[in-house]
Amino acid sequence: MKLAERLMVGAFGLALASVATTVKAETLKIYWNAGHAYPAYADVIKQFEKDHPGWNVEWGRFQWPDLRTKLVADLSVGNAPDLVAEPGGWVPEFALQGKITPLNDYIAKDGKAMGYPDDWQDFSVARNTIDGKYYGIQLHLTCATLVYNTDLLKAAGIEKPPSNWQEFRDAAIAVTKTGRFGFAPNQVAAYFTPWIYQNDGKFYDRASNKVAFDSPQSAEALQFVADLIHKDKAATAPVAGADYEGPQKLFTAGRAAMILTGPWDVGPIKTGNPNLHWDVAPSLTEKRQATMSGGVSLFIPKDAKHPAEAWDLLKRFVALDTELAASIPNGMTMPRKSWAADPKVKADPVLGKFSQCLPYAVDYSADISLTGKNASVQDLFTAAVQDILYNNKPAQAVLSDYAAKANAELQKK
């Protein structure tokens, strides 16, 4: 090769090297719940970055209230993340505001291969669909039920978990002693909706477009819990704040005999106190058996900078092998039918018991989310619950006051 040719080749090689070193790394920004930062999801992110050289996933992890605050602020200034995990109710709310990308085109292309929607529980598809458009994909599908310390109940002479309110109250009082409580309620208002539905009440009436959390049934339900705290001294007063893990921590430490929770707390209980003897019971039955449904969905904001890559990452998070890898160690229940049918899931005593409460679980926010006023109404309900539980005010009077404010919000255009 002549000198001139060698110089030309060398210069071309240097140019390529220069281009290679100046390629701008792309960042895919996702917002996630801190309690769901499972190793299986970290592995998915690592593989995504490996398959997309030059890309970095910014995995923001927050408690739900903090995540919502950041998300709303970022959406308002055009700084949308690429992928968001939400705790239920946000998908219809933000979709109605035009802030979410419909996924129909992606699902038309990839749905059959990923099993969507046929392999997902019908309920989990419906809650993320508006007018035939898919706005989210369910990641977790859960319900909350009674989790109890078997040793503490047996020591109090109680051989089986309570099945109704009177049995629950009796057990809570019997177990309570200095430094230990029968029940540790959660400060998050959603955890009080099972009591409302067990008493044959409801949160919202779609026909009248009015809230129903001020009904006599609802007031009686919240008064029952408030009396456990202030009258019977058999339950802890919830601590205001964003940390929904408070009751789990008390339970794990043996300072609370019963909590109302879901599979999201299984992992922390197991790792926090491996020697704790505990079990999962069916939800209580008063006028009816009921509990709240829950679960996390994933959505892509309309202003996401990298929607195609976000969809690629979303598919990886909801893949069956990822569901199994995330659920078995952490006790999280999932929305795929094939997941529920998996032998490892069926053989798991904790997952199996949690899955049995799904048939009578209620998505209390499903209808009100379609009004576009879910957030403001939820804030008012939360304020009412706090006023009742923290300040020991009469439930009926407080709920009536806040329901009037909520109904005024619902009537606004």
Fold that domain 23-141+295-362 belongs to in CATH: D-Maltodextrin-Binding Protein; domain 2 (3.40.190)
- Reply yes or no on whether the pLDDT at 13 is more than 90: no
Q: What is the pLDDT of residue 397?
A: 98
Tens of pLDDT, residues 386-400: 999 999 999 999 999
pLDDT class of 243 with cuts at 50, 70, 90? low
Domain at 144-292+365-411: CATH architecture: 3-Layer(aba) Sandwich (3.40)
Work out the percent of the chain whose per-residue pLDDT is above 90. Answer: 75
Q: What is the pLDDT of residue 240?
A: 64
Q: Which two tokens stand for residue 174?
A: 């019997």
Q: What is the pLDDT of residue 242?
A: 46
Strand 26-33, strand 55-62: pairing: parallel
Contact 260, 186 (CB under 8 A): yes
The H or E element spanning position 310 is helix 307-317
Tens of pLDDT, residues 33-58: 999 999 999 999 999 999 999 999 99
Q: What is the pLDDT of residue 18?
A: 42
Q: What is the pLDDT of residue 366?
A: 83
Our measurement of the distance from residue 107's CA atom to the centroid of its chain's CA atoms, rounded to an integer in Å, reads 23
Q: Residue 336: how many CA atoms within 13 Å on its side-chain side?
A: 19
Q: Give the Cβ contact number of residue 408 at 10 Å.
A: 11
Q: Give the Cβ contact number of residue 133 at 10 Å.
A: 13
Sign of torsion, CA 343 346 349 355? positive
pLDDT class of 9 with cuts at 50, 70, 90? very low
Nearest to 363 by CA among 119, 138, 33, 32: 138
Q: Which two tokens stand for residue 285?
A: 């039955």
Tens of pLDDT, residues 334-384: 999 999 889 999 888 888 888 888 888 888 988 888 888 888 999 999 999
Q: Which two tokens stand for residue 88?
A: 């239920």
Residues 6+ apart with CB under 8 A from 254: 149, 152, 180, 273, 276
Strand 256-261, strand 291-294: pairing: unpaired
- Reply yes or no on whether the pLDDT at 16 is more than 90: no
Mean pLDDT of 251-271: 93
Q: What is the pLDDT of residue 299?
A: 98
Higher-scoring residue by pLDDT: 143, 317:
317
Nearest to 89 by CA among 221, 188, 219, 215: 188
Mean pLDDT of 176-185: 95
Q: Where are the domains of the chain?
A: 23-141+295-362, 144-292+365-411
**Distance of alpha carbon 152 from alpha carbon 330, whole angstroms:** 24
**Distance of alpha carbon 84 from alpha carbon 296, whole angstroms:** 10
pLDDT class of 20 with cuts at 50, 70, 90? very low
Neighbour-count burial of 4, counting CB atoms closer than 10 A to its CB (0-12 exposed, 13-18 middle, 19+ buried): exposed
Q: What is the pLDDT of residue 22?
A: 40
Lowest pLDDT segment from 54-58, 182-186, 236-240: 236-240
Same topology, domains 23-141+295-362 and 144-292+365-411? Answer is yes
Mean pLDDT of 174-179: 94
E strands present in 34-89 = 55-62, 83-86
What value does the mean pLDDT of the chain take?
91
Mean pLDDT of 394-407: 97
Higher-scoring residue by pLDDT: 323, 370:
323
pLDDT class of 78 with cuts at 50, 70, 90? very high
Mean pLDDT of 203-223: 96
pLDDT class of 17 with cuts at 50, 70, 90? very low
- Reply yes or no on whether the pLDDT at 409 is more than 70: yes
Q: What is the pLDDT of residue 202?
A: 94
HEC-encoded secondary structure of 185-245: CCCCHHHHHHHHHHCCCCCEECCCCEECCCCHHHHHHHHHHHHHHHCCCCECCCCCCCCCC
Contact 194, 291 (CB under 8 A): yes
